[in-house]
Structure formats: C-alpha cells, structure tokens
Amino acid sequence: MNTQTKAAQLKERLLAGETVLGCFLSLGSPLTAELMGLAGYDWSLIDLEHGAGGEVEALAQMQALSATSSAAIVRVESNARQRAHRVLDCGAHGVMFPRIDTEEDARAAAAAMRYPPLGVRGVAFSNRVCEYGANFRPYLEASATALLTIVQIETRTAVDNVDAIASVDGVDVLFIGPSDLSHSYGVLGQFDHPEFSAAIAKTVEAARRHGKALGILLPKPDDMEHYRSLGFRFIASGSDAVLLNNAARSLVHNLRTQLA
C-alpha cells in the first residue's frame, strides 16, 4: 500500500467517526515498531520529541511499519517547517506537533504540511515518499487531503486559545497531552481535577464547533469509554518502552516470588 493510500484511509476512517487506536514508539527501534504495528494498532507514533533516536531512526521505523497495517505518524520537536518536511519526505502519514499554544503556532504547523500555494512545504522529487522520483505528481496531488495534521493541546495557554487553534484550516486533530496539560494547571496526574476536566470540556467544545477530531493519550486503558463518550476518536494507549518495562518487571517479580 503506497503512502498516500494508507494515509488517506486512516484519515477517512477518522473523519467518518470511527475510533482509531494508536501507540507511541519511544525506543527508536524498527523491531519494536514492527512488533507494535503487527499487534493491530491503526497508527503508531514515532516520538522524536521525547523518544530515542532522530530522523535516521524514524526512517527505519517507518520502513518497518510499512510491513504492517499501521499508519506511521511522527511527533516532531517543533512546528518548524524543516522538521515536518524531513519526516514527510521519508514517508510519514501524518505529523503531530507538540506545544501548539496559539493560532499562529497552528497555522505554522498546517503550512508545514502542505505544498504551495496552500503551505510552505518544499518540493523535492527524489525522496522515499514519492518512490524516489517515480511517483511525485500523484503524491503532490493527494498529500493536501491525505496527510493527517495533529496539534497538541497541552498547556493552559493552548486551552485559552483553543477555539482559535481549532479554527485553523488544515488542522485535523486536537490531541490532549494529559500529563503536560495537568502539570500546566498545577495538578499533575490529577485527571479528575475540576480544572483539568474544564480544560478537556473547552477543547471538546472547540473541536465540535470547528469540525475537528479529538485525540488523547489515555491516562490508563480503563479510561477508554470515558473519553469516547466525550467524542475522542484518535486514541493512543501503550508505548513500546512502557509495555516492555512492565512485562519485564512483572516477570522478574513473579520469578523472584517463586524463589522466596
């Protein structure tokens, strides 16, 4: 399946109201990326903000995910256009932009995803996403509508400006970073705190008003129905690092208990 087809299918499912499940890839490994993709996630997020590795490792993970049904989303370090361009040229099906606090931030992120005249993405023919020059024009024509643009709402400032952020053409998903957002309100990890709940409600209302999808990294898997009831459909749970860490610690604890 070529890049624009896989990207378009994910976006179409999301816009049709379907819940699409994702995971985070933090280890920088193509093997764990392939493993997570084969587990059945609809999308896998390669994390260049907090995860291990850089763009070279991201490319290897995208290549690994191409052998699975999981779309490759990359979280870049900022909304600087070069950061988005690099991963898009390597074949990302979408980009997540952290710390989008203002309408101007959101406009810069959306512009980085699109070629002129809609945006500022640079034209390059001989890269992976367009089969090294063999498929550029079809990719050029499909990319504006196929690629997924995800902006993170993770500060008090972002919530204050969330209606303006949601109004930006080209933004597809408002994605809650619950740890950063709760920390911004001084209630780190208190996901039932009234201020955190009010911030969620304001984001939900802005998304509904402007026809945007809602996304979140679930604080815990049992929160799925709560957030789905609020309208969240782009839902992440689990990362390669956390799952491996938990499984390893659980196994060692079990074995040592038997030795005691």
- Which pair of structure tokens corresponds to residue 25? 């890839």
Q: Is 193 a catalytic site residue?
A: no
Between CA 115 and CA 95 the distance in angstroms is 15
Longest dimension (CA), the chain: 68
What is the identity of the amino acid at 43? W
* 208: its two tokens: 């509904």
Q: Give dist(CA 166, CA 29) in Å, integer.
A: 34
Place of tokens 């992976």: 128
Question: Quick one: tokens of 58?
Answer: 């991201």
Q: By CB neighbour count within 10 A (0-12 exposed, 13-18 middle, 19+ buried), where does 252 fall?
A: exposed
Question: Which SS3 state, helix, strand or coil, does residue 157 take?
Answer: helix
- Please give the positions annotated as active site: 50
